[in-house]
Structure 1
């Protein structure tokens, strides 16, 4: 399940109804993003997903020549949003034929939030005045770095800011009775008889002034001039144009292209058994630490490699021992894998770590394939049923972990049912999950 903060911001954006608004997914970003802040997005090594936005500690004002104060008559619209969700679910019996049955489970979840917010937008006149400012000569070192790295930059044009300091609440309880020898969900493990009640309550206070959603427009730099794509977001454009832009795949793409892309990455690398083991074990140690994964990505993209301590440093050290060609293709595979992980959520990282430890990556990959392949170009919500033979190797806790991975992609999975509904918005994270499981299962062979 998503974090309390991410779940709340997503619901708020859906309620506001503006498709250009992007929910802020973590509290750290909520305190960094402001109007005129710069957002970085690196180009993905795949056509099937995009890397997440990364807010920077740099604003548009930092990269322009100083000028007179800009008349910024920001437009503010205030509103309130209150949301309470109560869910109750009962389950009985067994989800796998091999486990001892005879249990009943009743789960109740109550979530609530009450937000007072304002939408702050920037009038067109402000942008007109700002574009009278020139870029310094020589260009700021920050821009030079971005140009060399080939990243795209965006500027925040509108924010949804909190006028209060809300307390987000998540209260859940689980009542279990009977005899059981399987985990009923990823939080309850073990074997026992009788009954039990588990209560969990979480609260999160969000600071007043936090930005919970934003709009951003792409910056474009050509020689000494700069501009903004005002009309619409166009991720096919380049912040630093250097020639013909490769368009993303549209509806003509199918699952086979994704399968071929992943297969080519794996075959090209041909890592030694020792290297496979080193990458697998050290990535396992890093899952759950998004910052460490991002640091490893950044250091791998440097020439020569940057320095890191810990598991990431071990991977870098081993890569430097490889021959020139072998090191390059190995680096490409590891960067591709890291990209898939950056698309996935923090909760999926924890679940993937459990999958790696249980060595269930291959059946999980096959299950994800069975969902993606027939629905790849489906643009409507469509019911589907998971194939029993693919569920057979995933029982008990392994099934709960797998359903958690799918649920985080946007598919509504119930532990005691193989049925779900395809959601087109789940396609991108499912593609990334398929890529991650494919590469990790190959590494696990060591």
Structure 2
């Protein structure tokens, strides 16, 4: 489930209605992104998900020859955006296929935000003048690194900026009774016996000038000349050195083959499987630790870490095949999939690993993805009773939580739901993560 900040930026982008606008997902990025900022996106190891945008500590002006002035900005829109959401959710009873839940509960949540924003863009005339300026000679070192690594580089062309410093409140409560309680939404999680009331209130102050959303264009270089290219993620294309590489037909069979090939190429020993499984389990509550491990694995030679991630790196150093093939590649593939998932899904995955329910969860996700992966409309579906049967009680609640977090509206007392095309990427990542983790669990 997105953070309070990300929920707010996504709602804002939806309200503005510009399909090229991208919501900023973290407050850290909101204070780093500016007009003309450079953003990199590393190529994913999968056709089925994308890696997040990473703001660089550099701008377009840092890689171009000096000019007389920075192009003027045009403030096109100033808007006051206010949003209040109150939700109430109840769940009780049991689920089909004999999975007794023994659960009843009620949750209520309220979020409110008031944003004074302006949309800042650069006139086309200014872009034309900018393109007369050549790249620096010699080129900056980081630009050379991006080129050699095949990393896509973008420039921010338009920003949605805050003119005030709003406080984003997040008030939630839960009235719980029964055997256990699972996270029907981000506001409530944990276990309870009997009855009880949990109340939580958080506030987040967003600094004035923060960027809540942005548009970007991909940079293309021809010697010391450059141009900008409007990319469309829906086309699933990657620009590599001035040429466009089309993706293959993205059906479920290809996803299966992709996962299988990554697992087969790794040739993990039982000892390494056990180490990786146990250390990842210890790290799943810490997104930064997962990202740090990912960053170190991408270094050549890969770097050093303390803690569980360091133990995994120590094991990998014993494998002479790294980095071209081997276990390191599989772990990077798994980490990419995990980074697509939410923090709450990480908690639920850790519980799934401990309960050894990864395989039935994988089969259930497959039953959803296989017929719907290329469906572009909201389509009802019903979960198969024989796939629900191995998931009893709390295991079923954990599984429904994983699916709910992907964007499927799951109800504890019903196997029916509706396919949402926006759930495709997180569901593919969840399928890959469950497949690899279940392989590791064999140790």
Matched residues in 2 for 1:281 and 1:297: separation?
17
**Structure 2 residue aligned with 1:358:** 355
1:265 to 2:262 alignment: yes
Taking a change above 3 Å as real, the CA distance of residues 427 and 291 of structure 1, as seen in their structure-2 partners, is same
Taking a change above 3 Å as real, the CA distance of residues 200 and 395 of structure 1, as seen in their structure-2 partners, is farther
Matched residues in 2 for 1:176 and 1:53: separation?
39
3-state secondary structure, aligned to 1:357:
helix
Offset of 1:23 from its aligned partner? 0.7
Offset of 1:98 from its aligned partner? 6.1
Offset of 1:390 from its aligned partner? 1.7
1:236 to 2:233 alignment: no
**Structure 1 residue aligned with 2:181:** 183
- Give the unaligned 5+ runs of structure 1: none
1:174-229 Cα deviation digits (max 9, x unpaired): 2235xx22335474554633x32222222222111111111000001122211111
1:25-60 Cα deviation digits (max 9, x unpaired): 111111111111111101111111111111111111
Offset of 1:73 from its aligned partner? 3.4
Which structure 2 residues correspond to residues 375-390 of structure 1 after superposition, within 5 A? 375-390=372-387
* Contact residue 300 and residue 335 of structure 1 kept, 8 A: yes
* Contact residue 90 and residue 107 of structure 1 kept, 8 A: yes
Matched residues in 2 for 1:317 and 1:346: separation?
26
Matched residues in 2 for 1:68 and 1:337: separation?
48
1:281 to 2:278 alignment: yes
3-state secondary structure, aligned to 1:411:
coil
Matched residues in 2 for 1:185 and 1:235: separation?
33
Matched residues in 2 for 1:413 and 1:126: separation?
49
1:218-272 Cα deviation digits (max 9, x unpaired): 001122211111486776243644xx643123xx432111111111111222200
- Give the unaligned 5+ runs of structure 2: none
Taking a change above 3 Å as real, the CA distance of residues 237 and 270 of structure 1, as seen in their structure-2 partners, is closer
Taking a change above 3 Å as real, the CA distance of residues 246 and 168 of structure 1, as seen in their structure-2 partners, is same
Matched residues in 2 for 1:156 and 1:327: separation?
33
Matched residues in 2 for 1:299 and 1:227: separation?
32
Taking a change above 3 Å as real, the CA distance of residues 131 and 85 of structure 1, as seen in their structure-2 partners, is same
* Contact residue 105 and residue 175 of structure 1 kept, 8 A: yes
1:412-443 Cα deviation digits (max 9, x unpaired): 22233222110111111111111111001100
**Structure 2 residue aligned with 1:50:** 50
3-state secondary structure, aligned to 1:71:
coil
Taking a change above 3 Å as real, the CA distance of residues 145 and 84 of structure 1, as seen in their structure-2 partners, is same
* Contact residue 218 and residue 239 of structure 1 kept, 8 A: no
Matched residues in 2 for 1:38 and 1:349: separation?
30
Matched residues in 1 for 2:412 and 2:231: separation?
44
**Structure 2 residue aligned with 1:373:** 370
The range that moved more, 329-338 or 70-79, is 70-79
Offset of 1:104 from its aligned partner? 4.1
1:246 to 2:227 alignment: no
Matched residues in 1 for 2:331 and 2:321: separation?
16
3-state secondary structure, aligned to 1:324:
coil
**Structure 1 residue aligned with 2:403:** 406
**Structure 2 residue aligned with 1:4:** 4
Taking a change above 3 Å as real, the CA distance of residues 189 and 15 of structure 1, as seen in their structure-2 partners, is closer
**Structure 1 residue aligned with 2:92:** 92
Matched residues in 2 for 1:326 and 1:142: separation?
22
Offset of 1:312 from its aligned partner? 2.1
**Structure 1 residue aligned with 2:291:** 294
* Contact residue 407 and residue 413 of structure 1 kept, 8 A: yes
**Structure 1 residue aligned with 2:71:** 71
3-state secondary structure, aligned to 2:56:
strand
The range that moved more, 21-30 or 324-333, is 324-333
**Structure 2 residue aligned with 1:256:** 253
**Structure 1 residue aligned with 2:147:** 147
**Structure 1 residue aligned with 2:226:** 226
3-state secondary structure, aligned to 1:165:
coil
RMSD over equivalenced CA pairs, Å? 2.3
Taking a change above 3 Å as real, the CA distance of residues 224 and 166 of structure 1, as seen in their structure-2 partners, is same
3-state secondary structure, aligned to 1:90:
strand
